[in-house]
Amino acid sequence: MTSDSDTDHTAPAIQTSRTDGVLVIEICNPPVNAASAAVRQGLVAALQTLQADADLQAGVLMGAGNTFVAGSDLREFGQPMQHPQLPAVIAAIEQCSKPVVAALHGAALGGGLELALGCDARVAQAGTQLGLPEVTLGIIPGAGGTQRLPRRTGLLQAIPLICRGERFAAAQALKLRLVDAVVDQDADLRAHAIAHALGLQGRKQRIRDEAVPAEDAAQIAAAEQAALRAGKHQPAVVAAIAALQDSARLPFDEALARERAAFEALRLSPQALALRHLFFAEREATRPPAQWAKAPDAAPRAVQTVAVIGAGTMGTGIAIAALGAGLQVVLLEQTPEALDTGLQRITSHYAGRVQAGKMGAAQASAEQERLHGSCHWPDIARADLVIEAVFEDLAVKQQVFRQIDQHARAGAVLATNTSYLDVDAIARSTQRPQDVLGLHFFSPANVMKLLEVVQGSDSTPDVLATGLQLGRRLGKLPVLCRNAFGFIGNRIYNAYRRQCEFMLEDGAWPEDVDQAMQAFGMAMGPFAVADLSGLDIAWRMRKAQAATRDPRERYVDILDTLCEQGRLGRKSGAGYYTYADGKHNPVSDDTVRAVIADASARRGIARKAIGPTTIQRRALLAMANEAALLLAQGVALRASDIDVVLAHGYGFPRWEGGPVFWTRQQDLATLTRELQALAQECGHGFVVGDLSILLQP
């Protein structure tokens, strides 16, 4: 799937040429050859030529530039669709009396793969990525993907492929019989496809005429159940399963019509709108703001060597991410013992990858060879970029930055991975605050895609551009934001968690809140998350803030009491829940209820049960309110960035689009009224934002 914003609409979208009686039809719609209306019109015209010209015996369909067709034009999905639509193009290929071979390279995704499956054969270059990612956008393939794909792969393979929407490579496609031949990356794809087309000797071999292979019904039912479980909350998965079932039981054209109807129904559904919103928001987030794009001093600095300070949870994860991106890494610790523990963690990460067959042994050792552990500060002198990941304590970090300042080379970029602390206060402990920025990774840092790139007051544009570029190089989704307590993500999450704590005092139990938020679609409830990450982190932060906290502010001390009782979360066997089996199964606990009831009583609250809808609404309002505040304060540069952060770092359900998208779906007047009422309930310290700011694009 693609967005088509960069398309040059003046160039002809289709170009044709002839070789040995074969019409080569080339799709020219840069950057990704999205199957836009102009492309579809051009294809139909070219197919008419192929049919009408007696000198032509076959066609080859290929993409110009570096890809076949990476998808449909997503922007069209929100509007009335123009004719001819993709199914009509595919019908024209199938109805053409001469065979058409698709020549695939780059990506054949979504509508691109459906187009290829409508052809009589497919030749792919090694490395081509194929897939039907529609369900990840809240829709199903709408141009025969659910019908033609299982005719080749069988339903057992088709169910996970379509319901998860994952990409697969040409070699896998060959095994699945989705392509007929794979040629080397440096082979002449066009020549191979022409030869393949001539080799068909005029024979049509339409997938639609094949039967779905017979497979074990019980296994199919199990695969369907597994897909439905994994795709709970997602109507597109339910519709995909239904369409796949149709493929085996209905005549082709009838099933095809039903697939299209389901696609049409989903296309404008709230979930599809939310998922498309995030799709565009994710692409937008990685672009630096317009005002920088042309600034001559905003070119990123070159980075080949990264020094990571601190080999704990985050430092080792960041090191692994950097090694995976081909960088040299110096990992610095304070003691040989701590260094050894960190290095062992990295070694066992690689051993695990190799054992699981996810990485070759040669690659694993090549990556580890670029890692240099050290306890000597002068070793960071060769780094182009230094990332600090030591304890979350301002004094410790300032001390570490003084060391970095002393040893890093002039011009090196200096980053802190702090979660909450003031980047400026850290930067100003050096003589070069202009070189300092925040790079807030998420745990595990080698897995999580989100990266907040934090602009300090003194950070220069080229330093920020270096952070953004490094993020992209590490395969991350870098989101730029300004320096403020908790940046974007932790600040919104804090507001959410605080609201959930208010609800505990007001009458809900932890499981009421967790179940309601999970029913909304959050990956986990807030109290289960707190137990998982350890309550002591928040406890320490609260203690650090105690001296400056306004005594009139409503402050829920349940967490502090639990920590005082030694309930630090899963790691200590108990937190908001008790973990009967030591770690995994949370059980609600009368001790916790007593702590909560006592907190309510001390505040003079007569506890009243709170229903799931109210819980969800209060929690979402708190998030929306904080989003409005931080957008107004310029902490987030774009409203949509907030949604990207919450969806990628905090388990916010993608199909709800994020707190900003959620707000945009509500009636503003009602929401504003509810917010006023909520502010009353929350008491002193609850700052009310102007939600209308979130409605601006």
Catalytic center residues: 114, 134
Residue with token string 């290095």: 343
**Shortest distance (Å) from residue 372 CB to ligand NAI:** 15
Nearer to ligand NAI, 333 or 626 (CB): 333
d(CA 671, CA 690): 11
**Shortest distance (Å) from residue 337 CB to ligand NAI:** 9
How many residues are listed for the chain in this entry? 697
Nearest to 686 by CA among 624, 622, 637, 639: 622
Nearer to ligand NAI, 93 or 423 (CB): 423
Query: What tokens does 196 get?
Result: 């393949």
φ, ψ for residue 373 (rounded to 5)?
-80, 150
Nearer to ligand NAI, 30 or 534 (CB): 534
Nearer to ligand NAI, 389 or 646 (CB): 389
**Shortest distance (Å) from residue 307 CB to ligand NAI:** 11
d(CA 30, CA 53): 29
**Shortest distance (Å) from residue 450 CB to ligand NAI:** 10
Helix or strand run (H / E) with residue 266 = helix 252-267
**Shortest distance (Å) from residue 419 CB to ligand NAI:** 4
CB atoms inside a 10 Å sphere around CB 326? 11
d(CA 124, CA 192): 9
**Shortest distance (Å) from residue 259 CB to ligand NAI:** 43
- Would you call 437 exposed, middle or buried from its count of C-beta atoms within 10 A (0-12, 13-18, 19+)? buried
φ, ψ for residue 129 (rounded to 5)?
-100, 130
Residue with token string 């939310």: 274
* Angle of CA points 546, 686, 498, to nearest 5°: 60
Nearest to 660 by CA among 288, 281, 283, 137: 281
Residue with token string 């009353």: 680
Written as one string, the DSSP assignment of 400-449 is HHHHHHHHSPTT-EEEE--SSS-HHHHHTTSS-GGGEEEEEE-SSTTT--
| Three-state SS annotation for 8-48 | CCCCCCEEEEEECCEEEEEECCCCCCCECHHHHHHHHHHHH
**Nearest residue to ligand NAI, by Cβ distance, number only:** 312
Nearer to ligand NAI, 343 or 691 (CB): 343
Nearer to ligand NAI, 540 or 607 (CB): 540
**Shortest distance (Å) from residue 324 CB to ligand NAI:** 18
Nearer to ligand NAI, 17 or 334 (CB): 334
* Angle of CA points 402, 407, 410, to nearest 5°: 100
Beta carbons of 465 and 292 less than 8 angstroms apart: yes
| Three-state SS annotation for 67-82 | CCCCCEEHHHHHCCCC
Nearer to ligand NAI, 313 or 561 (CB): 313
**Shortest distance (Å) from residue 314 CB to ligand NAI:** 3
CB atoms inside a 10 Å sphere around CB 393? 14
Helix or strand run (H / E) with residue 189 = helix 189-199
Nearer to ligand NAI, 253 or 340 (CB): 340
**Shortest distance (Å) from residue 266 CB to ligand NAI:** 36
**Shortest distance (Å) from residue 340 CB to ligand NAI:** 11
Nearer to ligand NAI, 284 or 379 (CB): 379
Q: 486: alpha, beta or left, given left = phi > 0 and alpha = psi -120 to 50?
A: left
- Contact residues toward ligand NAI (CB under 6 A) are 309-315, 332-334, 338, 389-392, 396, 400, 417-419, 441-443
Burial 442-454 (b: 16+ CB within 10 A, else e): beebbebebbbbb
**Shortest distance (Å) from residue 483 CB to ligand NAI:** 15
Nearer to ligand NAI, 333 or 641 (CB): 333
d(CA 639, CA 693): 8
d(CA 466, CA 338): 29
Residue 557 to residues 59, 501, 502, 546: CA-CA distances in angstroms?
72, 9, 10, 12
| β-bridge partners, 130 | 108, 168
Nearer to ligand NAI, 157 or 419 (CB): 419
Q: Positive or negative CA dihedral for 441, 442, 443, 447?
A: negative
454 Cβ neighbours under 8 A, 6+ residues apart: 423, 437, 438, 439, 440, 481, 482, 483, 487
**Shortest distance (Å) from residue 582 CB to ligand NAI:** 21
